Structure 1
């Protein structure tokens, strides 16, 4: 009889634990949401996405002014350029070119954009030879919106991804791995119903 009571008590304790422990875990995760990283993306999601308009971008040269409409309906790899384009900036632009080549057949769905914040800076000579790189100046309204992503100017070498509807939705820190960006971009292109 004593053995049967012990088994019953253990059964009751197990049932009690099975009903209480999940609520305890859920409460802990609600209080500490950063504990578990959800998703498989490598970049940082911009939440909520930052909506932009094509009119907030103006071409920094004749080629870009003529083709600025390409920003609509395409996935855009945006390289912010706050000052003179040094080694970090050049490396980031090279990486976005390589990412475009790595996506293979989806290359037609992607555009590259150098977002130049200082209109007085001369554009580097190699930019003129790059027929796939758009150069744009942000409108003051766009510069104001970008402060919600990063209070200080976006650092050279960073990367933003803009969806075909003009929403800035993902960002990468300087020194990002182009293979990780390619993986994220490939997933976006695969599931996208737009662009």
Structure 2
């Protein structure tokens, strides 16, 4: 019933070649996993994955703050609407730099295309003469509770104003120093708008 013929023997050379191939496959698999782990734990990230704004740790919490609109009424965060906010908190002496910033923010907002309706611009205090406003601008009254959650809000002056990104829930997650590149804000916001 059993087949009495022994299985064909494998030559030593072929057996060594097969073992070397198996070791090479295991080394490539585990080697790439080790390299990926080392990169991950060293903090390295591809350039396309880095944000340009300063990531706030911990983020400012505006959920309990209800800003008052200059025109009257309150501005509610409404997380269900999935609306992101760009908050500008200029110092009183910011004039020409803030006019330029208003034009830059309008360009950035327009470049969002079909996602532009998911972004509001909140300007804290009275905009300077000549500032460009679009339909998603909301001018809100300065409030100590609001300023307390915006780190570095006093920086700037005549050089410009800091700009903040607030997520749909009311957390201040990114900060841009006065005089920042508006293209960096656009890039960061475009990534955030993809998170739905």
Superposed displacement of residue 113, structure 1: 1.1
Equivalent residue, structure 1, for 2:163: 159
Residue of structure 2 in register with 1:172 after alignment:
176
Please list, as runs of the form range in 1=range in 2, the aligned pairs for 1:10-89 lying within 5 A after superposition.
39-53=49-63, 55-59=65-69, 62-63=70-71, 66=72, 68-69=74-75, 71-72=77-78, 73=81, 74-89=83-98
Instruction: With a CA cutoff of 8 Å and minimum separation of 6, indicate the structure with the bigger relative contact order.
Output: 1
Decide whether the 8 Å contact of 1:56 with 1:138 is kept in 2: no
Of stretches 49-58 and 153-162 in structure 1, the one that deviates more from structure 2 is 49-58
Residues of 2 paired with 1:153 and 1:67: CA distance?
A: 26
CA distance in 1, matches of 2:185, 2:166: 13
Q: Provide the C-alpha distance between the structure 2 equivalents of 1:106 and 1:31, rounded to a whole number of angstroms.
A: 34
Calculate the TM-score normalised by the size of structure 2: 0.63
CA RMSD of aligned residues (A): 3.8
The CA distance in 1 between the partners of 2:108 and 2:76, in whole Å, is: 18
Structure number with higher helix proportion = 1
Cα-to-partner distance string for 1:140-167 (whole Å, 9 max, x where unaligned): x3323334xx3x7132332110111111
Which protein shows a greater Rg? 2
Unaligned runs of 5+ in 1: 1-24, 117-121
With 104-113 and 30-39 compared, the bigger mean Cα shift is at 30-39
> Per-residue CA shift, 1:127-183, capped at 9, x if unaligned?
5x73534233123x3323334xx3x713233211011111100111223233x2111
User: How many residues matched?
Assistant: 177
